[in-house]
Amino acid sequence: MYFTYGYYFAEMRVSPDRDDLIYIYGVPMLKSSDAGKTWAETDTVGRVHSDHHALWINPKDSKHILLGNDGGLYESYDEGKYWRHINNMPVGQFYTVNVDMDTPYNVYGGLQDNGVQKGSSTSVPNRTKDWEDLFGGDGMFVAPDPRNSKLVYTGFQFGNYWRLELDKNKFTRITPQHDLGEDPLRWNWRTPLILSKHNPDIVYMGAQRFYRSMDKAENWEAISLDLSKNKPQGNVPFSTIASIAESPLQFGLLYAGTDDGNLWVSKNAGGSWDAIHAGLPANKWVSSVSPSPHDKGTVFVSLNGYRDDDFKTYLFMSSDYGKTWKSVKGNLSESVANVIIQDPVNADLLYCGLDNGTYASLDRGNTWVLLNNMLNVSSYDMIVHPRENELVVATHGRSVFVADAKPLQQIAGKNVNKGIMAFAPESIRYSERWGNKSYEWSKAVEPKVHLLYYVGKAASAITIEVYDEKNNLVRSATSTGLAGINVYTWDVKITEPATPQKGKSKAPAAEPKTKYAPKGKYKIKMINAGETSEVSWEMK
């Protein structure tokens, strides 16, 4: 094919009603209207992104075509003469994700052919652009300094990395170079780069050797020999380090995994390395290595073999620095594994990203559940924000998702079998605007509070009761009793208790009134077959 490479794209489409109308696509897209005698580019009008992967031709109107590429979805009604970018869908192909410690914190990620992006984890009203471009190319690993979000280490494919001083608009290339007489460095397409959890001035990178800088990537030293099998082949770098990590519990407890199946540990900051892949499936790509934040000897790894047509799920855990391994695949169906991490709060809670979705385990890998409300899309990378306890997931096709991990952190382990477990909702401020319209044509402003609760075993229904400070029952409702986490949306309305009319002790009580909950503190009870879970809530 023209200007392309087959392992990434390069396909052909023929019009369903004209056998002389042919499209081929790779980096550009070409069209022939004379059965291939002549060709012309057809993706030049309308600022169409390059790198094309999918083409649909309307069987009822061959002039109408849809084009999918690294820039998203495009539509043409004239065989590709003019294009419209359908840019209202989150379809970013993230390779990696990271976070900073700003308030609110920012999410960082490297994207296929869309550079390196930075965006707030919390939507900012009236902001014209949610995401900021930090760097170009095929964005890869990105590491913001946790002390200063204006200092970011990132870059693009094959180890091309820079130190970005955003407040100074200063970009400094930092990629290590091999010494004279040494083999040239081999950089993985997705070259790993991380900062030390113990000192963010220390930067680590992986080529075929493990590199360390003690001074913000000004100077580098190799702290290992070639850790790969040293059998480079093909037309892209191979026999490279694909994953690196440092234990958050011990400085210098380092791990390195390669794309050709090797896995190593160093307990002395790179002074020596021990091979620990003997108990793992051979020759698999080490897609992630994640030391435990709870126990120094525990480490988790994910492997994949899809490049060799092996689509099994490989997830493993070691409790002895990699001397022995056990599978934590549990009940997962077969799908390529991209990442596995352990929750920083609850040691029983694991997360993994597969090619068919994002999963959580509440029992350290014995069983897994699919995280709902996320699409059936490849999950490439993830991190739990250390302050906010939110799970940030990077997908390769539907951008980034953020989820509150605190309910899972409370459930995992000892609370998995509880009949009912309520989670405290966030307090809200009372508003006189509730129930009123801002404009005649607009809807009335209505508050909502989402009441989350966990059901260990499915029940027909759950009873919800709200009590005021005087222990009066002011709201009662029923909700679903599905096994797992459920949500009941409360409109913040309560019913005032009926009271006898003054001076008429035997007279009927006044009719109860429904109104928005006034300021004060409340108790919320969730009841499942006699078992009760209670949380507090405040209207400020």
DSSP string, 60-121: T-TT-EEEEETTEEEEESSTTSS-EEE--S---BEEEEEE--SSS-EEEEEETTS-EEEEES
Confidence (pLDDT) at 491? 95
Residues 360, 443, single domain; the answer is no
Confidence (pLDDT) at 429? 95
Confidence (pLDDT) at 502? 60
**182 found inside a domain:** no
**76 found inside a domain:** yes
Confidence (pLDDT) at 234? 81
Collapsed DSSP state (helix, strand, coil) of residue 363: coil
Residues 439, 385, single domain; the answer is no
Could you list the beta-strand ranges (E) of 336-437.
337-342, 350-354, 357-361, 369-370, 379-384, 390-395, 400-404, 421-422
Query: What number of helices (H) and strands (E) belong to the chain?
Result: 1, 44
According to DSSP, the residues that pair with 244 across neighbouring strands are 256
Residues 426, 528, single domain; the answer is yes
**282 found inside a domain:** no
Q: Output the pTM of the full model.
A: 0.91
Residues 368, 449, single domain; the answer is no
Residues 429, 359, single domain; the answer is no
Residues 495, 450, single domain; the answer is yes
> Cβ atoms within 10 A of the Cβ of 450, count?
11
Residues 310, 401, single domain; the answer is yes
Using the 3D structure, point to which of 38, 62, 86 is the last residue of a domain.
86
Structural domain count, the chain: 3
Query: What is the rounded CA–CA span in Å between residue 283 and residue 259?
Result: 8
CA distances from 391 to 93, 110, 343 (A): 18, 17, 9
For 192, list phi and psi in degrees, rounded to 5. -75, 140
Residues 328, 381, single domain; the answer is yes
Range of the domain at 514: 421-539
Residues 453, 390, single domain; the answer is no
**47 found inside a domain:** yes
DSSP annotation of 167 reads: T
Using the 3D structure, point to which of 61, 86, 111 is the last residue of a domain.
86
**252 found inside a domain:** no
**295 found inside a domain:** yes
Residue with tokens 């949610």: 130
Residues 326, 394, single domain; the answer is yes
Collapsed DSSP state (helix, strand, coil) of residue 399: coil
Query: What is the rounded CA–CA span in Å between residue 329 and residue 319?
Result: 16
Using the 3D structure, point to which of 86, 114, 137 is the last residue of a domain.
86
CATH number at residue 521: 2.60.40.4070
In a structure prediction context, what are the per-residue pLDDT tens digits for the chain, which is 540 residues long? 566 677 777 789 999 999 999 999 888 889 999 999 999 988 776 689 988 999 999 999 999 999 999 999 999 999 999 999 998 888 999 999 999 999 999 999 999 999 999 999 997 666 667 899 999 999 999 999 999 999 999 999 999 999 999 999 999 999 999 989 889 999 999 999 999 999 999 999 999 999 999 999 999 999 999 999 999 888 789 999 999 999 999 999 999 999 999 999 999 999 999 999 999 999 999 999 999 999 999 999 999 999 999 999 999 999 999 999 999 999 999 999 999 999 999 999 999 999 999 999 999 999 999 998 778 899 999 999 999 999 999 999 999 999 999 999 999 999 999 999 999 999 999 999 998 888 888 888 899 999 999 999 999 999 999 999 999 999 999 999 999 999 999 999 998 765 555 655 555 555 567 799 999 999 999 999 989 999 999 999
CATH number at residue 64: 2.20.25
Residues 362, 441, single domain; the answer is no
Confidence (pLDDT) at 511? 54
**73 found inside a domain:** yes
**333 found inside a domain:** yes
